[in-house]
Chains A and B, each alone.
Chain A
Amino acid sequence: MTMIQAINSALDVMMERDPDVVVMGEDVGYFGGVFRATAGLQKKYGKNRVFDTPITEIGIIGVAIGMGAYGLRPVPEIQFADYIYPALDQLVSEAARLRYRSAGEYIAPLTVRSPFGGGIFGGQTHSQSPEGIFTHVSGVKTVIPSTPYDAKGLLIAAIEDNDPVIFFEPKRIYNGPFDGHYDRPAKGWAGHPGAMVPQGHYRVPLGQARTVRQGEALTILCYGTMEHVVESTVADMGVDAEIIDLRTLIPLDIEAIERSVKKTGRCLIVHEATRTSGFGAELSALVQERCFYHLEAPIERVTGFDTPYPHSLEWAYFPGPVRIRKAIDKIMKD
């Protein structure tokens, strides 16, 4: 399956299993979503469970919270992560706090799906990676898959989870993995081990990282599209890196990170999001606090630059193989 098919399959499986699951968002109903993630669901489950919404992100999330309070398990879609900001008040002040402020009387078991990340010439408002905004909020979980298998398993786990989950889908890899070599022909998911997706129900637990590659030389922490860019760059360089795909940022698999960095003594963090106060800063601080006496070199970060996402200069902005290679060289020199 492609990642889109895997996401569609996760929604199908969960809607079949649980009558409380409802899907809502702009263009998700009759049309099946601008990325086809919800294709066929309305026809199969009816308009009471899969419906198009007005173009108001405040409304989509606010209404989903109310449906959650009733007892449903809504899966709202925000068409692009770049457009999640109007809903921030509902997500941060409401969904994230509801269980806490009501001491468990009310919960917000939402799974907010949203395509995110760059690499598609999306310009400023179709490329952003706002995960750091959500990892800073107590009470929400943040999940980012990098393969079709994980996308389905994590999405099922997110929908079954009783806490609000922000589920960011790297749209660059919806239809195939991306190694960062934008000048080469695009690859599909066919043949990739992560594209072997079971038809039925399975779960990839939230809070568990995936070790993509075992290695001894250094640890690379990454997620989403960057997992593939890192994997390809490491293979090209022939460096014995241990690559960890975090999959869930909150709750974070700290044990996997600690175990790896204590073994390798070096750590590189790679994400598309802008650098300052990005999630990489949190990762860097955690590694420094927990692995200080094992570190043989400063922790490096390869990230998007602290600018809005540019259109024409996309490949100068995107943290691609050239920049990752340079950072690995630097870490290994120390």
Chain B
Amino acid sequence: MSDQPASGAGDQGNGRNLPPLRLHVPEPQFRPGDTADFSSFEIPAAGEAPRPDEAAHPGTMQGLVYGLIRVLDDEGAAVGPWDPHLPAETLLKMLRAMALTRAFDARMFRAQRQGKTSFYMKSTGEEAVSIAAATALASDDMCFPSYRQQGILIARGWPIIDMMNQIYSNKGDRLKGRQLPIMYSARDASFFSISGNLTTQYPQAVGWAMASAARGDTRIAATWCGEGSTAEGDFHSACTFASVYRAPVILNIVNNQWAISSFSGFAGAEATTFAARALGYGIAGLRVDGNDALAVYAATRWAADRARANAGPTLIEHFTYRAEGHSTSDDPSAYRSADEGSHWPLGDPIARLKQHCIRLGIWDEERQAAMDKELAEQVRDAAREAEKNGILGHGLHHHPMETMFEDVFEDMPWHLREQQQQMLDEAKAAGL
């Protein structure tokens, strides 16, 4: 009857005896009520991953995109070819920035619960990803972050009071209360304006890097997105552009296993690693223990050196775990096992770097405790100062209402001037 194989479609009783097709919908390992058990998790040993030359051809990096670059072993020793051999000063600086980020997150989360702001997002457990990367980059390399890289600003010494003013949308907020809390913008820190629209920053970072290259500059760009956001079309466009023009850019994927309630399987993690996506684009790819600050530093430094040598872009997957809820609007106990975080086999990035520093004899528990206390006080004092500029909902402490119409365009066109006047007239008539 036909040369084509029978599909059996629509008539199962036709005797063709084909199995019905099945749709695979991924399901995470553990749901609420389950006991998380990662014992079957295969974790490559620290020091095992080879370190290729920075000019290595992407095609030779198969092992690295499916493996895991780890420097710190279980005892806190730095081992293997990726050990960046950082001076004590740098290690302690990173440790401090990570601890400050965690203290900052804790305080701001509480401020949201106290009703001082509408919204907050912590980066708990992911501090190494942003801080070690920022430490490995030059201070004027341009960062295009997502919303969970507050550690970059902190690592670059940006005043936390300025971040708090933004979170409180108060009169000290340089963004004039226009942006949702944590959507920072800090041009002086080479930190790009954060957008709520996921992964839009990816092609933008590539464009910035292309501009730098076209100009014969020496600065490079770096960008970050979560593993969930790699499903966006912008990710594909950015990787294609980065590859085609060999843009001096570092494309970071923070694989923290969760995109709100969706586990990484919904972004494709059941079939492959995120780092492996690099291979198809002909981009260098590295997969890194994201809770190992030294590994993150080393991988970023490798990628930065590669970019600066005109050898092209690098995609880095940072394998980590989102230890807390997605945001203050999220309750993770509704979709994942409550003890998952505590069983996460790659541990806590701060604890691991601390252990390393203690092992080196440059740090101890007493100094850590004193630093934590000092940072908590520093954050508390900054928050008190920021609150003097106002908190959300206290109208007198916001930017004047007419500023709402500024910066839509460079010059205000007539229709905005009219609407601005209308608003002021309405407010006046209402006795406001």
Contact = CB atoms under 8 A, between A and B. Distances in A.
Interface of A: 22, 48-49, 53-54, 56, 58-59, 61-72, 74, 86, 89-90, 93-94, 97-107, 138-139, 141, 161-163, 207, 250-252, 254
Interface string B239-264: 01100100000000000000000000
16 contacts: A49-B214, A56-B236, A59-B241, A61-B203, A62-B238, A63-B210, A65-B204, A66-B206, A69-B208, A94-B197, A99-B407, A99-B410, A101-B178, A101-B193, A105-B193, A252-B415
A22 B208 CA distance: 13
A63 B408 contact: no
The main secondary structure of chain A at its interface with chain B is: mixed
Given A63-B207, A66-B211, A103-B174, 9 more contacts: A49-B214, A63-B210, A66-B208, A66-B210, A69-B204, A90-B234, A93-B197, A102-B175, A254-B415
Given A89-B197, A103-B185, A62 B211 contact: no
B211 A71 contact: yes
Interface of B: 142, 144, 174-176, 178-179, 183, 185-187, 192-193, 195-197, 200, 202-212, 214-215, 221, 233-234, 236-238, 240-241, 244, 407-410, 413-415
B211 A103 contact: no
B237 A67 contact: no
B192 A106 contact: yes
A136 to B, nearest CB: 13
Contacts, number: 145
A321 B200 CA distance: 44
Contacts of B195: 93-94, 97, 101
Nearest to B206: A63
Contacts of B187: 102, 105-106
A61 B202 CA distance: 12
A98 B238 CA distance: 19
B131 to A, nearest CB: 23
A251 B413 contact: yes
Contacts of A254: 414-415
Residue of A56, A66, A86 with most chain B CB atoms under a 10 A cut-off: A66
Contacts of B415: 251-252, 254
Contact of A102 (B185, B214, B413, B414): B185
B200 A93 contact: yes
A63 B185 CA distance: 19
B109 to A, nearest CB: 23
Contacts of A59: 203, 206, 234, 237-238, 240-241
A67 B210 contact: yes
B408 A138 contact: yes
7 nearest A-B pairs in the assembled complex, by CB-CB distance: A66-B207, A62-B203, A59-B237, A63-B207, A70-B211, A66-B204, A251-B413
Contacts of A56: 233, 236-237, 240-241
Contacts of B237: 54, 56, 58-59, 62
A71 B174 CA distance: 21
Nearest to B207: A66
Contacts of B178: 100-101, 103
B240 A251 contact: no
A58 B234 contact: yes
Nearest to B414: A254
Nearest to B209: A66
A101 to B, nearest CB: 5
A11 B326 CA distance: 47
A308 B124 CA distance: 50
A59 B205 CA distance: 11
Contacts of B196: 93
Contacts of A101: 175, 178-179, 183, 185, 193, 195
A58 B233 contact: yes
B207 A64 contact: yes
Contacts of B240: 54, 56, 59
B212 to A, nearest CB: 6
B146 to A, nearest CB: 14
Given A66-B207, A254-B414, A99 B409 contact: yes
Contact of A65 (B175, B186, B207, B410): B207
B183 A63 contact: no
